[in-house]
Amino acid sequence: MSRPALPDDTELRDRVRGLDLDSKIRLLTGAGLWKLPAEPRLGLSAVTMSDGPQGVRGTGDDPAETGLLAPAPSALAAAWDADLAERLGELFAVEARRKGVDVVLAPVVNLQRTPVAGRHFEYFSEDPLLTGTLAAAVVRGLQSRGVGACLKHFVANDSETDRTQYRARLDERTLREVYLAPFEQVLAEAEPWSVMAAYSGLDDGIEWAPMTENARLLREVLKGEFAFAGPVVSDWAATRSTVASAAGGLDLVMPGPDGPWGDALAAAVRAGEVDEQVIDDKVVRLLRLARHVGRLDEPEPAPVSSEPAPEEFRLLREVAARGTVLLRNETDLLPLSPDGIGSVALIGPNAVGPYLQGGGSAFVPAVRTVSYEEGLRAALPEDVRLTVHRGGDARLRLPYASAALLADPDSGAAGVRADHLDAEGNRIGGEVRDTGDWTTYEDFAPETRRVLLRTVLTLTEPGTHRLEFGCAGRFGVSVDGEEILAGDDDRGVELVLESSHNHPPQWGIDVEVGPEGRRLALALDLTVVEAGGYGRFVTAQVRHAPPGPTPYEEIAEAAAAAQAADVAIVVVGTNEEVESEGWDRTGLELPGHQNDLVRKVIAANPRTIVVVNAGAPVLLPWADEAPVLLWAWLPGQEAGHALADVLLGRTEPSGRLPWTLPARAQDVPVPDARPRDGIVDYTEGVHVGHRAWDRDGLAPAFPFGHGLGWTRWTYESVTLSPTPVSAASLTSPAGGDGLDLTVALANTGPRAGREVVQVYLEPPRDGTDRPVRLLAGFATVQAAPGARVTAEVCVPARVFRIWDSEASQWRTPPGRYRLHVGRSSRDPHLTAEVTVDDGRLYPAV
């Protein structure tokens, strides 16, 4: 990797010098939640940003706006294919222009340090090299179409618990070799046009500071060593200081228009606390970004078709299908042949309600969704009978109260009445809506201080009903005039940052209903939350569950359906309560009674296919019992079509695990993400993910890189390029060049297939604490049955080096290194040896 040259921006700097100080500083805080300020005197139009790891969310200006919902980043990573990732980046760019977006806040290059991390699904991998390679491809795709990428979250912001407060403590070597590594790689290979500074702070033994103020990492490393030329953007509401953040290397405070800069920063410059040249540099960086995305001296970008094209849907379908990992296929049941199949039982809570995307800022209102039932029904012959059975509910939270049960107490019409009240309690507006879901309700006038929700809930079915309420901020909940729940949280933006506004704690009561039925008057008195750049809102949820069958009754019904069917397909997994931005998981178990469901179905029908619909690892205690086991990720809008393509053999599930799947919770190297006394201590050092499993000699359920596909492969030979790698490459900041491996292999199975050739580096055992093996390169190849193919794999020089903390530089220890070529981190087939001597790297003889 070569370092990008910093641009010559003399003309831009001349423009900036013509602005007065206050005008320059005005450009350094957002004009709103998503837009940056315009400045006609500079030829600068407003730049628009949007969330985007799983699609382009948009700005929310149109509440009815939808968009393309892609598979989660971990699903894309499972394809291990940079070309596919680049194509998806190009699609994101088209979608961004469709929504008037110039910069997409993606990709996320934090690592899956622990499997319980709330945003695990939003990260690519537990491995730095795989993460960096795929993220660079997404950036190239985005920016090739003139839409900027914003690389995030710089750096070591790898979990959600107290994410705005905690300090990540890790040594300098771990920081350099593991957590900075994917950022460094993407910056060198793809030159992203912006970078986002994380919420959290960092303590690497040299300096402690919040990332928005970390001068050593932002100014010296990111902008200095890594030669990053664009703006460093704060995560939303992450900036808490004026002078420290401005001097520390932050360039743009988001969101706006308020924040800690503005007049306070102007005063600091005039007082000599911040040099005005620092301000000028920030504005120039923003102008570079604007120039890249066509917002500097440019007309409005050409309009893009408002409707997605068929090929866009096909690409999302391809990513979801190719990323699917075939973990087991013991009976050769897959791919299914429709001949001889008269009936299929589709079973499981995620079969009924697929989990398509993770919660939080990545959420995209999809233009369409294809359920597993819809996908299978469209793919199977018409004469095949398809039945669907939930097999028990996996959600801890109840469904929202049905509109059919709710009535406006004033008019008697269906729905919930909202009265908007001013500071004195006077009604100044209102509306009636037909739902118990009032999450982030903000449709009220600026003078509104409280929102009073009132409805009459009519229950007719005899038995025990369950009611649950969830509110955020300051509130009171009354049932038949008696207050049963109250809250006094007067925080503002903090509620948004910890997701309390859309995932409030639930509190419930049981309601006994006799044959005559029962009517309950519900009132929820909500104080408006003042959340700065996130606006003003209230949150309330009314949930209800009627009497119904127990989970075990549903499981028995599902098992009976499986026994009667020719094939049973069980879809289990997580849901929006489990995987989301804003909180981390407390364990790895499947929610609800899904393990019991799987075992009962397998016992009922030996032709059972188990599909896991989850973005992050879950424990599968029955994995060895499943005849067929597929991991289908959070697959996005084309879920049903993609699964049908895999099951019926139209697309090979050529995915490989981008992380390690544990067999037991006690084996997980980093089992939780909780800060201790405000510190998240990275005690595992450089042994992240599969490296820790190798260090500890533990057997996972399935190792990093594992996946089967439809066919069999024979690895025949490996040869190394004869040219030695220079000493300069081994010590350069970017890692320099590398070794080229040529791997010959043959498809010895019955079907055409795609293979991911993986190369792992085994360093010499010289006393230095290094991974037993680390991913050093990979390539994807295709071949017809019986055909031979060669894979060209580049092993970059940087994988041989380690960071010398005492000398503050890279070095490559001498000795003999082994390169293992195979199908996963635990399945080597070929070995080559390399020698490092005299500062150079040679193929061993």
- What pLDDT score was predicted for residue 647? 97
Is the residue at 831 inside a domain? yes
CATH number of the domain that residue 791 is part of: 2.60.40.10
One domain for residues 631 and 768: no
pLDDT at 726 over 70: no
Q: Is the pLDDT higher at 452 or at 298?
A: 452
Per the model's pLDDT, the better-predicted residue between 789 and 63 turns out to be: 789
Q: 132-146, 413-427, 451-465, 827-841: which range is least confident on average? A: 827-841
Confidence class for position 303, pLDDT limits 50, 70, 90 = low
Same domain, 354 and 430: no
Inside any domain, residue 69: yes
Residue 260 lies in a domain: no
Same domain, 471 and 377: no
Instruction: Specify the residue for token string 């000795």.
Output: 815
Same domain, 162 and 217: yes
Least confident of 3-17, 153-167, 416-430, 784-798: 3-17
* Domain-terminating residue out of 659, 692, 725: 692
- 50 and 197 in a common domain: yes
Catalytic residue among 235, 251, 393, 737: 235
Tell which wins on pLDDT, 561 or 729: 561
> How many CA atoms, within 13 angstroms, populate the side-chain half-sphere of residue 552?
0
Query: Quick check: is 319 in a domain?
Result: yes
Residue listed under structure tokens 């005299």: 838
Residue 728 pLDDT level (bands cut at 50, 70, 90): low
Using the predicted structure, report yes or no on whether residue 279 has a pLDDT greater than 90.
Answer: yes
Token pair listed for 422:
């001013």
pLDDT class for 498, splitting at 50, 70, 90? confident
Mean pLDDT computed over every residue of the chain: 94
What domain range is 505 assigned to? 403-435+443-534
Tell which of 230, 253, 276 closes a domain.
253
Among all chains, which residue has been given the structure tokens 């010499």?
764
Under 8 Å between Cβ of 688 and 178: yes
Q: Are residues 567 and 530 in the same domain?
A: no
Tell me the pLDDT tens digit for each residue of 450-461. 999 999 999 999
Asked which of 534, 552, 587 is the last residue of a domain, the reply is 534
Distance CA 269, CA 366 (A): 46
Question: Could you tell me the pTM of the whole model?
Answer: 0.94
Are both 764 and 678 inside the same structural domain?
no
Write down the pLDDT at residue 840: 81
Q: What is the average per-residue pLDDT within 450-473?
A: 96
pLDDT at 737 over 80: no
Q: Taking residues 69-83, what's their average pLDDT?
A: 98
pLDDT at position 185 over 60? yes
Q: For 92-105, write each residue's pLDDT tens digit.
A: 999 999 999 999 99
Q: Which two tokens stand for residue 430?
A: 């209102």
Q: Are residues 431 and 372 in the same domain?
A: no
User: Which of 108-122, 136-150, 205-219 has the least mean pLDDT?
Assistant: 205-219
Residue 795 lies in a domain: yes
- Do residues 386 and 408 both lie within one domain? no
DSSP conformational letter for 427: E
Give CA–CA dist 275/247, Å, rounded. 8
- Domain total in the chain: 4
- pLDDT over 90, % of the chain: 85
Rg over CA atoms, the chain = 28
- Residue 458's CATH number: 2.60.120.380
The pLDDT-based confidence of 5 (bands split at 50, 70, 90) is low
Largest CA distance in the chain: 90
Is there a domain that residue 272 lies in? no
Average pLDDT over residues 122-136: 98
pLDDT category, 6, cuts 50, 70, 90?
low
Q: State whether 602 and 624 are in the same domain.
A: yes
Does residue 36 lie within any of the structural domains? Answer: no
> Judging by DSSP bridges, how do beta strands 167-169 and 148-154 pair with one another?
unpaired
Could you tell me where the DSSP H helices lie in 762-842? Answer: none
My answer on whether 490 and 425 are in the same domain is yes
Asked whether the predicted pLDDT for residue 90 surpasses 70, the reply is yes
Mean pLDDT of the region 527-547 = 92
Q: Which of 443, 54, 580, 493 is nearest to 255 (CA)?
A: 493
Active site residue 681: no
Rounded mean pLDDT, 815-833 = 96
* CATH assignment at residue 647: 3.40.50.1700
Residue 151 and residue 80 share a domain: yes
Cβ contact 800:129 at 8 Å:
no
**What pLDDT digit, counting tens, does each position of 748-769 carry?**
999 999 999 999 999 999 888 9
Residue 357 counted as domain residue: yes
Mean pLDDT in residue range 627-633? 98
pLDDT band at 207 (very low <50, low <70, confident <90, very high): confident
pLDDT in tens, 249-269: 999 999 999 999 999 999 999
More confident residue, 275 or 7: 275
131: three-class secondary structure by DSSP: helix
